[in-house]
């Protein structure tokens, strides 16, 4: 396995997955390059979490805007799909934790 730059990684395939920390998502996508993001499906699983006051984190963007919307505005030709961001990873790997789960 070889480490690549954001640009090298985003240049390949029909889709880009943004799994970066929300605080650096726009910067990482800028580094990926507009030419490598626009025109593609962009799966965005980032969260704009603010840990500056400890746990639990708050959101640094909410209510009248969202990180997904900011990404879409910046990369207008990308098809941004916001997904998997409201479920904790612990629940993803063990869905029986849901009430009534089996």
CB 101 within 8 A of CB 61: no
41 near 79, Cβ under 8 Å? yes
pLDDT of residue 39: 95
Percent of the chain with pLDDT over 90: 58
CB atoms within 10 A of CB 89: 8
What's the mean pLDDT when you consider all of the chain? 89
pLDDT tens-place string over residues 9-27: 999 889 999 999 999 999 9
The CATH code belonging to domain 6-97 is 3.40.50.720
| Distance from chain centroid for Cα 91 | 18
pTM above 0.95, yes or no: no
- Asked whether residue 1 carries a pLDDT value surpassing 80, the answer given is no
């Amino acid at each position: 396995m070889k480490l690549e730059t954001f640009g090298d990684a985003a240049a390949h395939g029909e889709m880009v997955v943004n799994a970066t920390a929300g605080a650096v998502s726009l910067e990482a996508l800028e580094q990926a390059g507009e030419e490598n993001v626009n025109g593609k499906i962009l799966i965005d699983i980032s969260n704009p979490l603010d840990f500056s006051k400890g746990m639990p984190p708050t959101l640094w963007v909410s209510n009248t805007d969202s990180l997904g919307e900011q990404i879409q505005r910046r990369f207008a030709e990308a098809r941004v799909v916001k997904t998997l961001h409201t479920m904790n990873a612990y629940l993803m790997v063990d869905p029986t934790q849901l009430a009534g789960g089996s």
